[in-house]
Amino acid sequence: MFGHPSIPLSSCYAPFVAATASPPKLRTPRHAAIVRVTHWITVLCFFALLITGGEIVISHPRFYWGEVGNVMTRPLFTIPIPSSRDTVPTGYHYVMPDQNGWSRALHFEAAWVVMIAGLAYALYGLFTGHFRRNLLPEKGDRSWSSFRRVFAKSFHRAPPGEPGAHAYNVLQRTAYIAVIFVLFPLVIWTGLAMSPAFTAAAPWSVILLGGRQTARTLHFFISWLLLLFVIVHVTMIVLAGFKIRMRAMITGRVVEPPPARRKTDRR
C-alpha cells in the first residue's frame, strides 16, 4: 500500500484488499469478524481468570512439586502474602477475606467461555488458512537472521501506516503462534490436571505432568507467561499507535493516515 511494492498484497489480513490506490482507499479490512469477537471474549475471560486465579492462590499461597503438598510438607516456594485461610502458616497475623466461592465459579465459567471461543477461532483459523497465511512465519522468514533483523528494526519506532499495519513480522507471528498453540493448550491441560473427576477419567493427563501439585505450579507459571505476553502485546500496540490498532480490532478496519514521510533516516 502507498508505494510499498515490496509488500505483497497477499500478506494483508483480508483477502480482498482493493488493488487500486487512486484515489487512496482509506479503509482496508484488517481483522475478520470472528477474530475480533473471539479476541475480545478472550480479553474479558483472561482478566476474569487472572483475578479469580489470584484469589484462589491466596487461599494457599504455597507451591509444591510432585503429587502431594500441604502445610505439613516442604513447599517448592511460597508467595510472601497473608492467606485467606487461618490454617496456612504464612507468618502474618492477618487472614485475608475469603473470596474462593465466587472466584472458583467465575474461574470455571470463564474457562468454558474462552474454551468455546478458542475452539471457534481455531476451527476458523484452520479452515480459512488464517493460521497459515497470517500467523505462521513466512517461508523466507524462518531463520534466526530474520528474528535478528526484526529485533534490530523494532528499536526504531515505525510510524503508523508502515507496512507493519498489514502483516505481522516473524517475531509477532512467533509470539502469537506460541501463545495460541503452546501456552493456551498448556494452561488448559494443567488446569484440567487438577480436576479429580477429569483425572479419574484421564489419569495420563496428570501422570505425564508429574503429579497434581506439579500441574498446579505449572498452571501458576504459565499464567505469568500469559500475563507477560499481554503486557508486551499492549505495550507494542501503544507504541505502534493505540487508536489505529484498537479501531482495527474493534471495527475490523484500518484507517490509513497519509503516508508518513520520514524526516530523517534514523539509520
Partner 1 sequence: MTPITRRQLIATGLTATAGAAGLAAAAHFARRYGLIPPDHGGLYGPGETLTYAAQRLLASHAPAREFPRSMISKAPFANEVAPPSDAFKRHQATGFSDWRLIVDGMVANPASLSLSDLRSLPFRSQITEVACEEGWSYIAEWIGTPLSEVLSAVGVLPHARYIVYRSIQTDWWDSLDMADALHPYTYLTWGMNDGDLPVGFGGPLRMRVPRQLGYKSIKYITNLTATDNIKAFGKGLGSASPEGGYAWYAGI
Is residue 15 part of the contact set for partner 1 (CB under 8 A)? Answer: no
The dihedral through the CA atoms of 109, 35, 254, 264 has a sign that is positive
Closer to partner 1 by CB, 78 or 146: give it: 78
**CA-to-CA distance for 14 and 221, rounded, in angstroms?**
35
Residue 199 touching partner 1 (CB under 8 A): yes
Residue of 16, 97, 201, 258 interacting with partner 1 (CB under 8 A):
201
Where on the phi/psi map is residue 2: left (φ > 0), alpha (ψ -120 to 50), or beta? Answer: left
* β-bridge mates for residue 134, sequence order: none
Least distance in Å: CB of 198 to partner 1? 7
- From 5-13, 62-70, 117-125, 237-245, span contacting partner 1 (CB under 8 A): 62-70
Q: Specify the residue, 40 or 102, whose C-beta has the smaller distance to partner 1.
A: 102
Biggest distance spanned by C-alpha atoms of the chain: 74
Per-position x/- string for 111-140, each x denoting binding to partner 1 as judged by CB under 8 A, each - no binding: xx----------------------------
Given 46, 65, 108, 176, the residue binding partner 1 (CB under 8 A) = 108
Gap between the Cα atoms of 203 and 211, Å rounded = 10
Cis check: omega of the bond before 196, within 30 degrees of 0? no
d(CA 157, CA 160): 9
Q: How many residues bind partner 1 (CB under 8 A)?
A: 41
Q: How far is the CB of 116 from partner 1 (least distance, A)?
A: 9
CB burial of residue 113 (10 Å; 0-12, 13-18, 19+): middle
Q: Which residues bind partner 1 (CB under 8 A)?
A: 56-57, 59-60, 62, 64, 67-73, 85, 87-88, 100-102, 104-106, 108-112, 192, 194-201, 203, 206, 212-213, 216
